[in-house]
Structure 1
């Protein structure tokens, strides 16, 4: 039987999509340096990542962010007006601690280190974006990136993100991001790059 083609047209990710979103992002981040650092065990990494991203989606970004997906990718964005609400509450933090186990302390330190580079200006934040490796090269991630950037441009806002994967930097630079700085995460963690993209005129003028 011929497999059904996967659509790379962005659509709003609903809370009911959590199993799909969690599975896709678990596969997408299986080779991400920071996620491999948080989940060092090869045998349990995909399951741990699935729980991690499902929790972020259902308890945090799915409630207070702008979440979109294709059939093989997902992205979580936060507009300026949603950033205070998108901070995880105590119950969410406890759930993440349980998922991360003995890496929870390092995770907390990494979040604090990344926060030091967050720009004070109002901005859109690209919290998570990833495509299933089996579908890479088919435009899924690019479609989601363009969709979110268009929303930020329509609002006249810059966009901020962090990445721990060097291969991703040229991709983001292609879309107009520039590196603001880098930090080596505590506890021998990987390097994290902070990037910013200035707003563009949505009319193209």
Structure 2
């Protein structure tokens, strides 16, 4: 077994992984159009993103989602039945507002716009997936995506995600996602692509 295959094997994330996950996702999303819109200052973006991802992980997804990570990537999934619980509570919203500063109103508007286009059917929602660019091409993001999709397939349910990075769309399409539509985020924000994947039988995966 190669070292690469060991380090990109998904593991369940726990609260103790918050700092590592925050740092990993900060690097992964440094060039993401939506995150650059929320954190426009190059000098403070990495620190802000690290706090943002650590916060939503510790306050939301580790409690109500399925969170996995490798040595260089992390993913947060929300299964059906948990999606109402994964919505930020008042304390989380306040904490995120402090992290985002004057961009907090744009964040709220973007979240509302995206939620308005989400599917009504039961589904597995991929809230976040990202890999450290230093480990690009080593299969970390793909391993996490396969792991979550296997759970959706086992339940016979579709998967759904949004992406603001056009170059990521072919990656998701490779795993069976198709673009449902585009959402132009308010306030001059970037475009968000919503994507859906039909469940597959084991023989089709």
In the TM superposition, what is the alpha-carbon distance from 1:107 to its structure 2 partner?
0.4
SS where residue 150 of structure 1 aligns? helix
Q: Distance in 2 between matches of 1:80 and 1:202?
A: 20
Offset from partner CA, 1:67-91 (integer Å, 9 cap, x none): 0000000000000011111111100
Q: Which moved further from structure 2: 194-203 or 160-169?
A: 194-203
Gaps of 5+ in 2: none
Shift of 1:202: 2.2
C-alpha distance in 2, partners of 1:180/1:88? 25
Find the residue that maps to 2:166 and give its secondary structure. Answer: coil
**CA shift at 1:116, angstroms?**
1.5
Cα separation, 2, equivalents of 1:140 and 1:133: 10
RMSD over aligned CA atoms reads 1.2
Matched, 1:102 2:99: no
Query: Where does residue 148 of structure 1 map in the other structure?
Result: 148
1:26 equivalent in structure 2: 26
Deviations 1:43-71 (A, max 9, x none): 00000000000001000001100000000
Match for residue 40 of structure 1? 40
TM-score by length of 1: 0.96
Q: Which residue number in structure 2 is paired with residue 116 of structure 1?
A: 116
Q: Aligned partners of 1:101, 1:182: CA distance in 2, in Å?
A: 27
Count of matched residue pairs: 202
1:75 aligns with 2:75: yes
TM-score by length of 2: 0.96
Unaligned runs of 5+ in 1: none
For 1:91 and 1:50, locate their aligned partners in 2 and report how far apart those are by CA, in whole Å.
18
Is the partner of 1:41 in helix, strand or coil? coil
1:26-53: CA deviation from partner (whole Å, max 9, x where unpaired):
0000000000000000000000000000
2:164 is matched with which residue? 164
TM-superposition CA deviations, 1:140-165 (whole Å, max 9, x none): 00000000000000000100000000
Aligned twin of 2:64: 64
Structure 1 stretches of at least 4 aligned residues deviating more than 4 Å after TM superposition: none
